Structure formats: structure tokens, C-alpha cells
Amino acid sequence: MVCSPLEQFAIIPLIPIEIGPFFLSFTNSSLFILVTLQTTLAGVKAATRQGGHIVPNAWEAVGEMIYDFVHTVVKEHIAPPAVKQRVFPLIFGTFIFLALANLLGMIPYSVTVTSHFICTLGLAFSLFFGISVVGFQTYGLHFFTLLLPRGVPPALVPFLVILELISYCFRALSLGIRLFANMMAGHSLVKILCGFAWTMASMGGLMYVACLAPFLIVSALI
């Protein structure tokens, strides 16, 4: 029986839920989104137990390192403090969710939530629309100045505006597709190399020794 490397991405309904014409079943992908959520909350709980300590313990130190990392990135790219405070929880939550979802996907027989483009594109487009709406609410029509960088020669203005507009709109699509493609390609590659290793080991003889090569590549990847 030949196993396809794409079988690992199958969505299996665990709790079938049908509301009219809509299928809203609780699937294996939903289960791992829930596991990601619970892992994040458990980590935050461990980092903030009893309000924390002046001298942090291990869990608190990890939580504070992640907080500091995201805070530094946000501080470098977003200037006004009021905006930074409003936006920081969203960026922190997105970072933690995606990092943990990808890490949990490395567990054998688990589901990589971000290997489905509907998840990554859903997140990317919703953030893109949200940022655009907030941008227009805050700056009004001045938000369009984003499309014209400073110091551009007047002759290039029409072309650059169109180019920047396409680039801005395409950013949402590219962010979603990049993550989905990386996850899908990476997991497919690991599955294929493991398949090689197993087949070579089954053949015996010199192939039994040679199966170390794909096995070591997989170990290095993981």
C-alpha cells in the first residue's frame, strides 16, 4: 500500500455538527487549535502565578523573554505610545499562536493547523482588513500617503503609486501563502524522507546501512 505524503493533512470530523446547509464539525484541526490555545494559556498562567516574583523563576523568565522580544519589535516599528499599547496584545497573541501551532505540528501524528491555506489566509486577510479599517479611521484620506514614499521624483509618481497599491493589497495574500507553503512543503518533505528511510531499511543489505542518510536529514530538519 502506497501512502501519500499528503494524507497527513486530511481533515477528519471528530464531532459532526450540521446547522442547516453548513458543516461546522469539530475536526482534528479544530482540536489542535484548541490544544494551542490551552498550551498558550497554561504557559501564561505559569509565568504569572501568584502575581510573579521580583526574582523570576524559570517559567516567568521564559514568559518575560517572549514578552520582551515582541515588545522590542513593536517598539521599533510603531512610534506613538497610545497606538503601541492598543496593538501590542494583538501582535503578541498572533505571534504566540502561530509559533505554538507550528511547534505542536512537529509532534508525530498531530495536525499542523497552519498547513491549510484557509487558516493562514483567514488570519492574514482579517488582519489586513482590520489594519486598513483602523488606518482609515485614524488618518482618513491621509492614509493614502502610505502609497507614496518621500523623495520620489514627480515623473515616477503615477507608476509608483500603482505599484505600491498592488504591493499593499498583495501583502495579505503573500503573508498567508508563505506560511502555508512553508508548512506544507516542510511536512511533506519530512514524510517523504521518512518513507525513503523505511523503504531502504526494509530492503536490507547495503540499503539497510544507507537508510541512515535520509534518517539523519530528517533529524537535522527537526
Partner 1 sequence: MPQLDQFTYLTQLVWLCVFYCTLDVLLFHDGLPLLSRRLKLRSLLSAGVVFRAGVGQHEASWGGVVIEGVQRGVGSLSSSEARACQWLAGKSSAGRPRTKRTYGALLGEIGASSMLARAVPALTSGYAEPAAEGATPRDSGWPAETRKKINRLGARRVLLPSTRTTA
- Contacting partner 1 within 159-188 (CB under 8 A): 180, 184
Q: Does 153 bind partner 1 (CB under 8 A)?
A: no
The nearest distance, CB 175 to partner 1, in angstroms, is 15
**Stretch 3-42: interaction string toward partner 1, x if CB under 8 A:** ---x--xxx-x--------xxxxxx-xx--xx-xx--xx-
Rounded CA-CA distance 202/191 in Å is 16
Give the DSSP H/E element, type plus range, for residue 191. helix 157-203
Rounded CA-CA distance 18/189 in Å is 35
**Stretch 92-121: interaction string toward partner 1, x if CB under 8 A:** xx--xx---------------x-xxxxx--
- Contacting partner 1 within 51-70 (CB under 8 A): 51-55, 57, 60, 63-64, 67-68
Burial class (CB within 10 angstroms; exposed 0-12, middle 13-18, buried 19+) of 59: middle
Q: Are the C-beta atoms of 134 and 90 separated by less than 8 Å?
A: no
Rounded CA-CA distance 68/178 in Å is 26
Rounded CA-CA distance 199/215 in Å is 11
Q: Which residues bind partner 1 (CB under 8 A)?
A: 6, 9-11, 13, 22-27, 29-30, 33-34, 36-37, 40-41, 44-45, 47-48, 50-55, 57, 60, 63-64, 67-68, 88-90, 92-93, 96-97, 113, 115-119, 122-123, 180, 184
